[in-house]
Amino acid sequence: MAHPSQLGFQDAASPVMEELLHFHDHALMIVFLISTLVLYIIVAMVSAKVTNKYILDSQEIEIIWTILPAIILTLIALPSLRILYLMDEINDPHLTVKAMGHQWYWSYEYTDYENLGFDSYMVPTQDLTPGQFRLLETDHRMIIPMDSPIRVMISAEDVLHSWAVPSLGIKMDAVPGRLNQTAFIASRPGVFYGQCSEICGANHSFMPIMVEAVPLEHFENWSSLMLKDI
């Protein structure tokens, strides 16, 4: 999860997020090289005293500064389009979870099971135990098996919300009357935090998301216990 004064992204916990981090580094290096070149040209033009009033045009330079930006844009666009298509891929999910946004909490329904669902509210500050994070802890976590394709169906009951978990590379709007879907694979066990990322009213800041990835055996034990409690 994020920590104070952090400058970069959170550690990737899914293959898509790893691709996004690689693309970010790729694009940032191109921006760095362009900025260095522009800075060098500015410094050279300010400090150099070489002038030639007979040079009115240069077709070679014009060709270079027309073709070079096109090549650079292509080097950025192709990896970007690849990741966009990867983020839309949903291939044979092992589990489907329906996430419904409310003012101001989330409810989860495991549609592959009968009557397995719960509401997830933020833990108030006064009820936090040592080691828990303010504004990020919930009373019920969304439990998923790791290394398994998970499909999340996202909607809202009242106003616009957004289901976002940065470590998993997910951000999907929850729109009333519309069912959006996204998919991810948690590549390692752990607890991943997110928050509603669409301003949805007075308590917008108080509807966090907790996704816990566990081994498949632990998930099966958890789901069995939840069904027994119901």
> What's 82's domain CATH number?
1.10.287.90
Pair (79, 127) in one structural domain: no
Per-residue pLDDT of the chain (230 residues; tens, 9 = 90+): 778 888 889 999 999 999 999 999 999 999 999 999 999 989 988 887 777 666 667 788 889 889 999 999 999 999 999 999 998 888 889 999 999 999 999 999 999 998 899 999 999 999 999 989 999 999 999 999 999 999 999 999 999 999 999 999 999 999 999 999 999 999 999 999 999 999 988 999 999 999 999 999 999 999 999 888 76
In a domain, residue 6? The reply is no
| pLDDT of amino acid 176 | 94
Q: Can you give the pLDDT at residue 53?
A: 66
Report the distance separating Cα 216 and Cα 211, nearest Å: 15
Query: Which CATH number is 135's domain given?
Result: 2.60.40.420
Number of domains making up the chain: 2
Is residue 1 assigned to a domain?
Answer: no
Asked if the structure places residue 3 within a domain, the reply is no
Do 113 and 197 share a domain, yes or no? yes
- 7 within a domain of the structure (yes/no): no
Domain check: are 151 and 220 in the same one?
A: yes
Same domain, 101 and 83: no
Residue 186 lies in a domain: yes
Same domain, 191 and 157: yes
Q: Is the residue at 9 inside a domain? A: no
CA terminus-to-terminus distance, the chain: 32
Residue 179 lies in a domain: yes
Q: Report d(CA 11, CA 65) in Å as an integer.
A: 38
| One-letter amino acid for residue 105 of the chain | Y
Q: How many CA atoms lie within 13 A of 38 on its CB side?
A: 7
Q: What are the residues facing 171 on neighbouring strands?
A: 164
Residues 118 and 197 in one domain: yes
Between helix 15-47 and helix 59-88 the angle, nearest 10°, is 160
The token pair that represents 6 in the structure block: 């952090």
Q: Which residues pair with 138 in a beta bridge?
A: 122
pLDDT recorded at residue 54? 66
Both structure tokens of 226: 């939840």
Are 223 and 147 members of one domain? yes
Q: Are residues 34 and 141 in the same domain?
A: no
Mark whether 199 and 223 lie in a shared domain: yes
Q: Quote the pLDDT of residue 55.
A: 67
For residue 83, is it within any domain? Answer: yes
Pairing relationship of beta strands 208-214 and 190-196 according to DSSP bridges? antiparallel
14 within 8 A of 186, measured Cβ to Cβ: yes
Residue 111 shares a structural domain with residue 167: yes
Is residue 77 domain-shared with residue 110, that is, in the same domain? no
Same domain membership, residue 82 and residue 128 = no
Structural domain ending residue among the three candidates 41, 71, 88: 88
Domain that holds residue 202: 95-229
